[in-house]
Structure 1
């Protein structure tokens, strides 16, 4: 049960902050002493723990980027797996479709207002007040849009 709650937490976080189209990697570590059958069994248990509603998009987001690697010994197999992972990462970040993020242009003005008061903790009502100071066509209109903006802004601001 704990594994399923842990997995649900991470899947929900990925969907919230990365979206269902976010490219993912599944890396199983500490496999030095495991046989291929044991690793396969573990991956099967992982997929069985994924809720049915999430299985298809998760599989699509992984797009065969599943790796099992032991890191204690840097043998030829480990080097090959790490090289494959590196190649996948480079491919993802050199593919314009994966690095392009489109956000409403009106968010830029709101972001600027928040940066002007950098490191000040604001209540949600204060943020809405700042929003209302913008010209009407640049204001965030709904609670849902404000929530999305704040999720993106907080992720970008701290990374």
Structure 2
């Protein structure tokens, strides 16, 4: 059994995401603290999405093949397909059409949206090209998820 965990010092679970981490602000990724990965995990993946988006879940960030001993993802991860400072982890294309993190930007007047920050322990390194879209990541993860944890932040544009 494992106690996989993902958290941020930028805001508390269930609370509002500071503007700095949104498209209305600096649009940088928040610092993430990771713990409790299973000893036999081969890699970690991060997915940030908005299930409250109109029509479909909107993907804001995907990263995979993080080393399983990663304990922190620093604030403002470069928006590159490969992140050399994180063990050559790969980042995918978000639903804005960009590689890397794209902060919250819900439609004005749409009410608060919840943003899920998911950490997934994976039993293998994923054979997936950097820059791949979320659909390909989901396909690659199928049958390889060991355990996951998540927290949620909210954001609203009036």
Answer yes or no: same fold by TM over 0.5. Answer: no
**Relative to total residues, which structure has the larger strand share, 1 or 2?**
2
State the TM-score, normalized to the length of structure 1: 0.22
| Greater relative contact order (CA < 8 Å, ≥ 6 in sequence) | 2
**Relative to total residues, which structure has the larger helix share, 1 or 2?**
1
